[in-house]
Structure 1
């Protein structure tokens, strides 16, 4: 009788783990179209992305709060002015997408356009990266805030430029 119960434990555990994973809010798709300088991503539930521009190296960082990444960190080498796109789990409640520019390039944060096609489907249109001549100790670009189009939720996203120490 005792051995029967021991045989049932793995079955109960697998059902419990399946139920937990079925309720996870996930990033289900992402793609960077290099020829259009555009990122597209889809989650299985609505999300309000947060974004910032960080220097040294210059990269656009997009956080998806409440979203999990199933599987390992993913990346796509792009080439040209956009070096690489990385997608990973920033913390246990936030998936992070990083668009890293090639060394010596920046972009105008005022020209980055977020568009919510639906609450769970987004595009991020990047302007053409520009070559910069950095002066040591000076910020790459002054701090800016920017409103982005979101037809599904009239909320603004904040895009900030931060210097890395």
Structure 2
């Protein structure tokens, strides 16, 4: 059973309020979108059942109104152990990113939010199947970028070793 968007928002707010200075409403909305997308792409289904709309400034989970207060008086979110484990990992990954990196990832022109806005217009619902597909493509992009980075690092390392050991690497 999926968690409620409000509980996911409380969980994310607790973490990112301390990780990012000036944590705001659209920061929370972008993180909700990313959490939902990565949950779908990992094959776990929807993280929360509430819809996400294609607002002009950011994807919006309309059921989460305003910025949640971060003080200790907030209740502990009601999440399944599996969802809490996923969100722990999500917060670890995105906690080291800054809001600009998160915004760039969310604002991708080939992402579900932008495609929905382009095709369906302002306020159209971002379909979970589209989110799953575009986030899986993002995983492939990330894997390819990582492969290219490793390849360039290996070439650089070989060149460094070749320059330091003229006898072993000289041509015949």
TM-score by length of 1: 0.24
Name the structure, 1 or 2, with higher relative contact order (CA <8 Å, separation 6+): 2
- Give the structure with the larger helix fraction: 2
- Give the structure with the larger strand fraction: 1
